[in-house]
Amino acid sequence: MKDLSSNNKSIVDGPSRVDGKHKVTGKARYAAEHPIDGMLYGVLVDSTIAKGTIASIDSKAAEWAPGVKAVISHLNSPKIPGYDDKFYGLKVFFNNKVLFYGQPVALVVADSFERALHAATLVKVTYNKDKSETSVDKNLANAKLPGNPRMKDYVRGEADAYKKAEVSLEEEYLMPLEVHNPMELHAIIAHWLADDKVKVYDKTQGIKDTQESISKTFKLPQENVQVIAEYVGGGFGSALRTWPHEIAALLGAKKTGRPVKLVLNRMQMFTMVGYRPYTRMKMGLGATKDGKLTGITHEATAQTSRYEEFTEATVNMSKFMYKCANANTRYRLVQMDVSVPTWMRGPGEATGSFALECAMDELAYKLDLDPLEFRMKNYAEVDPENGKPFSSKHLDEAYKLGAEKIGWYDRNRKPASMKEDGMLVGYGMSSGTFGAFRWEATASARINADGTLVVQSAVSDCGPGTATSMVQIASESFGIDASKTSFILGDSALPPGPTQGGSGTTSALGSAVFDTCLALKKQLHEIAAAEQDSPLYQSKFEDVKFEDGDILLSRSKKVAITDLLKKKNVPSIAVTLESKGNEELQKYSMYSFSVHFAKVHVHPLTGVVRVVQVATVADSGKIISEKTAAGQMIGGVTGGIGMALTEEGVFDDRFGKFINNNLADYHVPVHADVPHIDTIFINKPDPIINPMGAKGMGEIALIGFAAAIANAVYHATGKRIRELPITPDKVM
């Protein structure tokens, strides 16, 4: 056994998280931790059938239990004005229909959590049960083209051209259902301040989205809904939308006239806040004998719910990742009696890349080519899907750096040829990609008379360290020390920030912070340049620099911003502005790229796979904060180890019920499963996307990783495993 204590001991140097101390000392307040006077506690009663109707609800015993203030169900729920035909999602306590196992059917509100929990056990619900379907595999015949028009079949050149290729491959790959399981449980405190005015403390990745969806659901003016999310303990996509439990808490608070706190339990985290859908895929790849791709076909069939369609970009990466004249994709959905899936880190691309990047490895072996060489032979210099240039792409360099780090060329490429300490040794690699975006966002920047800079925006931080990177961008762009700069987030009353999802926060919000600081600098300079006795009198903005809180024309001609504010006798000067991309961006294909290299040990008798070394490389433009970026990559790889080796949500299809809906049976990686991870950044600014040159990183950290492990297991054992997770029973 290696000494694990030496793992990851020094990640990277550089500034630490600005909120790190708050987090590790318990000062950080997560949604459920806000103390509110007179607060009540809500506990949900969940359905125990997957499909059917509620025949009766007997809540008398619960209502008479000590401390109980209300029991709410479809029988007595306050009407929700926004539950119309256009409503998107499950309507909680709306009618007697049961659409999945674990659906909230009643809410008990009491004066303590324990009393609510007890009373919830006293609610007696009877059902008329219908036969439910939860097995995708048994219902593949019912797979249909989604209603979403963007999901129609794609053909470039000739469809299924792989079938005619000199060398070809056709295989099936499986991504099982996966559950986000952030450490923090989903939680909300709903507090009606008036009949038409509400404040919620909520776990959300999108403060403005939550504000908008609550205001629409309850038909309230947007400004009457305040959403607070100062800290979020992980999301991975599960907090990208408003879920029924949030509406339930709002109903509970409305009915009782008191603030209500509702925290899901871990089992409810498996059925109430989405998951990565079970997806069966078929890959067809064709190439010439010398390794030029001639056909790429990617088909996917995923699960969705009956009450709402969820689609994701599972097959998209196969359209543009490699140079190939012929490519086609097909995406289908099977409606099941399950809760609706949602985006989970890397969303569809994480699923799709498993098929594509395993198939690339398989075809490379068929062609007797190094898998890395095979990828380079089919390297896309321009986007094969639309012919546009990439705004930036340094994937070739990433391949090289990762290969060097892991010792790729020192291995014996032959499968099952390497041994070490009695273990089979395997090396595997894969690549990943995810769109890079520039959404609109608004920030404000205020310079105070004491020389401190305060930047604000209504964004939440589910973990990447948004405040830290925004402080970095603001202090660099304003020319002021980071210690004098702060970033305030977590409140919908702040200028509208982006949703934290799709790896888009740094680009969107960073641009707003950058542009706002620039506008503030211009305003300050304008004031200085108008002062007749100022050394900057009548100077041009282009000629001055901002450094250490001074505006400088030259070393001797400068003005301290603090003096300027004092002279004008104002406590502060602030600017708020919106920033967004322009039409120029449309001329480019914008993507981040990643490469993952992994070394595994496979036990020759038990088939247990251990990841022993990882080198992961990100081409995500300029790195704003190296330490938080490394944290993102390490987190993505850790999620990828779970995806590759252990994570799988399992249903008992007889009852339509999850059977491993807890962290003892649903295995996420623990420290002992995670080896040393080298994180490498290309760190070359993208000249197009935004003023910082930063592309996204959250998704590419995970996308492709599971394929690197599957490929490494093949190299170690000679056995292809195309169904995740790669558990010992499949290896043996």
286 binds ligand MOS (CB under 6 A): no
Q: Which is nearer to ligand MOS, 176 or 696 (CB)?
A: 696
Among 156, 216, 254, 345, binds ligand MOS (CB under 6 A): 345
Nearest distance, CB of residue 437 and ligand MOS, angstroms:
11
Instruction: Give 83 or 354: the residue with its C-beta nearer to ligand MOS.
Output: 354
- Measured distance CA(161)–CA(565) in Å, rounded: 69
Cβ nearer to ligand MOS, comparing 322 with 343: 343
Rounded-to-integer distance, Cα 164 and Cα 277, Å = 32
Tell which one of 371, 502, 607, 725 touches ligand MOS (CB under 6 A). 502
Nearest residue to 490 (alpha-carbon basis) of 457, 512, 513, 521: 457
Applying CB under 6 A, the span of 231-239, 388-396, 628-636, 723-731 interacting with ligand MOS comes to 231-239
For residues 125 and 701, which CB has a smaller minimum distance to ligand MOS in the complex? 701
Q: How far is the CB of 311 from ligand MOS (least distance, A)?
A: 14
Tell me the closest approach of the beta carbon of residue 644 to ligand MOS, in angstroms. 18
Nearest-approach distance from CB 182 to ligand MOS, in angstroms: 10
CB-CB contact of 626 with 506 (8 Å): no
Stretch near ligand MOS under the rule CB under 6 A, chosen from 164-172, 337-345, 555-563, 578-586: 337-345
Tell me if 439 contacts ligand MOS by CB under 6 A.
no
Residue 205 or 433 with smaller CB distance to ligand MOS: 205
What distances in angstroms separate CA 147 from CA 142, 226, 243, 334, 687, one per listed residue?
14, 34, 22, 12, 37
Residue 725 in the binding site for ligand MOS (CB under 6 A): no
Region of 23-31, 330-338, 341-349, 633-641 interacting with ligand MOS (CB under 6 A): 341-349
CB-CB contact of 581 with 504 (8 Å): no
Q: How many CA within 13 A on the CB side of residue 618?
A: 35
Report the distance separating Cα 637 and Cα 701, nearest Å: 6
**CA neighbor of 730 nearest in space, from 643, 628, 606:** 606
Catalytic residue among 230, 246, 349, 699: 699
Q: Is 235 in the site for ligand MOS (CB under 6 A)?
A: yes
Minimum distance, C-beta of residue 180 to ligand MOS, in the bound complex (Å): 8
Residue 601: CB minimum distance to ligand MOS, A: 31
Give the residue closest to ligand MOS by C-beta. Answer: 237
Nearer to ligand MOS, 340 or 551 (CB): 340
- Residue closer to ligand MOS by CB (options 237, 284) is 237
> Residue 236 or 390: which CB sits closer to ligand MOS?
236
- Residue 367 is classified by DSSP as T
If the CB atoms of residues 182 and 402 are measured against ligand MOS, the closer one turns out to be: 182
Q: Which two tokens stand for residue 700?
A: 């590419």
Please list, in sequence order, all residues whose beta carbon lies within 8 angstroms of the beta carbon of residue 78, skipping any fewer than 6 positions away.
72, 251, 254, 255
Size of the site for ligand MOS (CB under 6 A): 11
Q: Are strands 279-287 and 167-175 parallel, antiparallel or unpaired?
A: antiparallel
Chosen residue from 18, 40, 344, 708 binding ligand MOS by CB under 6 A: 344
If one asks whether residue 501 binds ligand MOS (CB under 6 A), the answer comes out as yes
CA 457, CA 696: separation in Å to the nearest integer?
19
The per-type count for the chain, helices as H runs and strands as E runs, is 15, 29
Q: Judged by CB under 6 A, which stretch of 78-86, 234-242, 379-387, 615-623 contacts ligand MOS?
A: 234-242
Q: Is 178 a catalytic residue?
A: no
Binds ligand MOS (CB under 6 A): choice among 15, 284, 347, 384 = 347
Cβ neighbors of 562 (< 8 A, separation 6 or more) are 449, 450, 451, 549
DSSP 8-state symbol, 62: H
Out of 243, 343, 374, 658, which residue is the one contacting ligand MOS (CB under 6 A)? Answer: 343
Note every long-range contact of 523-528, with CB atoms under 8 Å and residues 24 or more positions apart, other chains counting: 523/573, 523/575, 524/447, 524/551, 524/561, 524/564, 524/573, 525/551, 527/564, 527/568, 527/573, 528/559, 528/564
| Contacts with ligand MOS, 237-266, as mask; x by CB under 6 A | x--x--------------------------
Say which residue the tokens 């659409």 belong to.
Answer: 99
| 191 in contact with ligand MOS (CB under 6 A) | no
d(CA 375, CA 408): 14
If one asks whether residue 236 binds ligand MOS (CB under 6 A), the answer comes out as: yes
CA-to-CA distance for 357 and 351, rounded, in angstroms?
Answer: 10
Q: How far apart are CA 60 and CA 62, in angstroms?
A: 5
Task: Please report which helix (H) or strand (E) contains residue 434, including its range.
Answer: strand 423-435
- Interacting residue ranges for ligand MOS, rule: CB under 6 A: 205, 235-237, 240, 343-345, 347, 501-502
Which residues are identified as catalytic? 699
